[in-house]
Amino acid sequence: MRKRYVLLLGFLLAAGAPLEAQEGGALRLFVSGGMQTSPDSYDSFRPVEYDSGLQFGGGIALVLSETFAVRGEMAKGSNSGFEAGVLNEDVEMDRSYYGVSAELTLPVAMAVSPYALIGAGMVHIDRDGPSYTFAVTEVTGQVGAGLRVPVGLAATSAFVQGTTWVYANSSTDEWQVDPVLSLGLAYTVPF
């Protein structure tokens, strides 16, 4: 049993080596959770008041240099609402995002690493109500920015990130803008 703990500790210490000392790139695994804004303008013909919802996500980034990474990610958010029109019923709206983005880390001489990202993917909207239900998938763009700071071992970092999904709203024929503010943890493994 002790051998397992010693091997695990050795792995964590080796993975915690600074990236600057590595010749190759790295993989960064990340998870996040946060708040997604209310999609009040989504339903054009029905007056639905949604609450802000929770969103959880994660992904993997291929870190190609100290300033550039390509990341694949997924996120799922859910909002509860109430249709205050003729029907007076509870409504649930789930939004799931799957996409790829480019991340540019700004070179600063501080422990905090600011970054910006831009990407594209698909958002799946699933609206569920007793008398009106639909599901649609839209092509979406994603823009965002964040701050990453190392915590504990050098391979572990915490981040705060703001992103926005922009996609066509098939209900209103206008653009839908869904901002998200999230906190997360990342673990980087050099290779």
Domain boundaries, the chain: 2-190
- CA torsion, points 117, 32, 59, 166, in degrees to nearest 10? -50
The residues, any chain, with a CB within 8 Å of residue 10's CB and separated by 6 or more, are none
CATH architecture assignment, domain 2-190: Beta Barrel (2.40)
Pick left, alpha or beta for residue 96 (phi over 0 → left; psi -120 to 50 → alpha; otherwise beta).
beta
Q: Which residues of 133-146 are buried (b: 16+ CB within 10 A; e: fewer)?
A: eeeeebebbbebbb
Tens of each residue's pLDDT in the chain, 191 residues: 444 444 333 444 433 434 343 456 999 999 999 999 877 667 666 677 888 899 999 999 999 998 999 999 999 999 888 877 777 888 888 999 999 999 999 988 778 999 999 999 999 989 888 877 888 899 999 999 999 999 987 789 999 999 999 998 877 778 888 899 999 999 999 98
Distance (Å, whole) CA 111 – CA 122: 34
